């Protein structure tokens, strides 16, 4: 009987650990799935915006 209780307690403990692991993994994956697209959109917005000056590629100085 004690052996059966031991097996049951081990199962419950392992099941709780697995549930926590899955919930942490799910939360991290949701976080990544929101952060990556927003960081890519931010990069695209900065490259597609209006030019500060009329020259395309140059080093900015006090003239422009």
- Those residues whose C-beta lies under 8 Å from the C-beta of residue 48, and which sit 6 or more positions away, are none
pLDDT above 60 (res 63): yes
Q: What is the pTM assigned to this prediction? A: 0.54
Residue 46 has pLDDT above 80, yes or no: no
Distance of alpha carbon 17 from alpha carbon 32, whole angstroms: 23
Q: Which of the four pLDDT bands, split at 50, 70 and 90, describes residue 39?
A: confident
Three-class DSSP category at 55: coil
Measured CA to CA, the distance from residue 2 to residue 33 in angstroms comes to 46
């Amino acid at each position: 009987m004690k052996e059966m209780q031991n097996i049951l307690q081990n199962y419950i403990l392992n099941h709780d650990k697995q549930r926590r692991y899955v919930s942490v993994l799910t939360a991290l994956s949701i976080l990544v799935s929101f952060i990556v697209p927003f960081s890519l959109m931010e990069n695209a917005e900065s490259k597609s915006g209006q030019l500060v000056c009329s020259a395309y590629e140059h080093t900015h100085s006090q003239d422009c």
